[in-house]
Amino acid sequence: KPQNKKLGVALVGLGSYSTYQLAPSLQDTEHCYLAGIVTGTKEKEKTWQEKYGIPVENTYNYENFDSIANNEAIDIVYVVLPNSMHADFSIRAAKAGKHVICEKPMAISVAECDAIIGACNKAGVKLSVGYRMQSDPYTKEVKKYVAEKTFGDVHFVSSDAGYISRGNPDQWRLNKKLSGGGALMNMGVYSIQTSIYGCGANPSSVSAQEFSTRPDYFKDTDETITAQFEFPNDAVAHMMTSHNANGNRLKSHCSNGWFELDPAHSYGPISGRTSNGNVISFPHQRQQALQMDDFAKHILMGTPNVAPGEMGKRDMIIVEAIYRFIAEGGKKQM
Ligand code: NDP
């Protein structure tokens, strides 16, 4: 493709994230645009076609999706479905010869992540995970503090990611078959990500605890999980993720000070401060637009993939280790 061409993106699954974040953000991108839709809800087809000028021939459902292979207007398929459907549609998209971006969590097991990575490699297409924070300037700034040791060595990171779920108890996020797990799958990947970039290394070991205070509501999935990481650079971290407690924070305690983001991973504006009294501040931009341009530039110009499939898989290895620790670990009753 010539470098001046905008890549066509097809959104798969027109739920709330596609409707309120991704589609509007794709109006703000330089290197890609919303070209197609894939939906299982017939009524959404016409609304989206009219709102975004999407031609009928770029409109698919889950049954005829594979014929997207014949549609040259679609370069990138963006999978925005419930978690347990990510692997199937990402693999089908790769087989159709399309570049793939898949929402977080990348899938619901390490084996599924491997299958997606394998399918994309085999098809020779690019793969990214919808980790919008990897394109966010605040995240880049704290990564710089870590790399340049602005506040010295990081010794301890604390990170929280959660919200209080009060909605319909039958929603897919609370249904393990569709979600693969509860708070840890949904929000836990943010605390795993912030622990890692707040410290600058991948963890070498983990321990974890699960808490359940509303078992009548969270019948099928984890409510609150805390976990502790050791890192090869001698740092340690503590994370909390929950569907029953609000948390949106990263704090890194270093040998000569500290830095903090709070909020750390919402849609923005993100807010941050440091031990020397500075406020971390950048003009607000839609993270989803930055993310999509980063992926399009990776495809068109070979710039780095800021959220590759291997990163999604790394986080799923940690998720599985946390669940395994909880399943095997004994709680001491008092
Ligand atoms: P929603 O429930 O709002 O939408 C999911 C959509 O998937 C539905 O509207 C439907 O679209 C389609 N779908 C197909 N089969 C099913 C099914 N069995 N049950 C429910 N929906 C189905 O979810 P979200 O948009 O909030 O989340 C989608 C994905 O995006 C998740 O993986 C989530 O983790 C991720 N996400 C990421 C965020 C981020 O900041 N990176 C933020 C929010 C979500 P249709 O009617 O078109 O078929």
Q: Domain residue spans in the chain?
A: 7-132, 133-284+311-328
CATH fold, domain 7-132, is Rossmann fold (3.40.50)
Which amino acids bring their CB within 6 angstroms of ligand 1? 13-18, 39-41, 44, 80-83, 103-104, 130, 132, 172, 178, 186
Three-state SS annotation for 192-204: HHHHHHCCCCCCC
Whole-number pLDDT of residue 4: 66
Residue tagged active-site, from 131, 138, 145, 190: 190
Pick the CATH number of 133-284+311-328 from 4.10.95.10, 3.40.630.40, 3.30.360.10, 3.30.200.20: 3.30.360.10
Residues 182 and 243: their CA atoms lie apart, in Å, by 7
Q: Point out the ligand 1 atom lying closest to the alpha carbon of residue 19.
A: 25
Whole-number pLDDT of residue 214: 97
State the alpha helices, DSSP H only, in 163-308: 176-179, 183, 189-197, 287-301
- Pairing type for strands 7-12 and 76-79 reads parallel
Whole-number pLDDT of residue 333: 72
For the chain, residues with pLDDT lower than 70 are 1-4
Q: Point out the ligand 1 atom lying closest to the alpha carbon of residue 104.
A: 34
Residues 102 and 314: their CA atoms lie apart, in Å, by 15
Q: Point out the ligand 1 atom lying closest to the alpha carbon of residue 185.
A: 34
20 Cβ contact partners less than 8 Å away, ≥ 6 residues apart: none
ipTM field: 0.99
Residues 327 and 325: their CA atoms lie apart, in Å, by 6
- Across the strands, what pairs with 228? 207, 238
Whole-number pLDDT of residue 3: 54
Q: Is 104 a catalytic residue?
A: yes
Phi–psi pair at 207, nearest 5 degrees: -130, 160
User: What is the residue with the minimal CA distance to atom 16 of ligand 1?
Assistant: 82
Structure tokens at 51: 């709102």
Asked if 100 and 128 touch (Cβ cutoff 8 Å), the reply is yes
Residues 161 and 70: their CA atoms lie apart, in Å, by 41
Q: Is 163 a catalytic residue?
A: no
CA dihedral 118, 120, 123, 125 (to 10 degrees): -150
Residues 111-123, buried b or exposed e (16+ Cβ, 10 A)? ebbebbbebbeeb
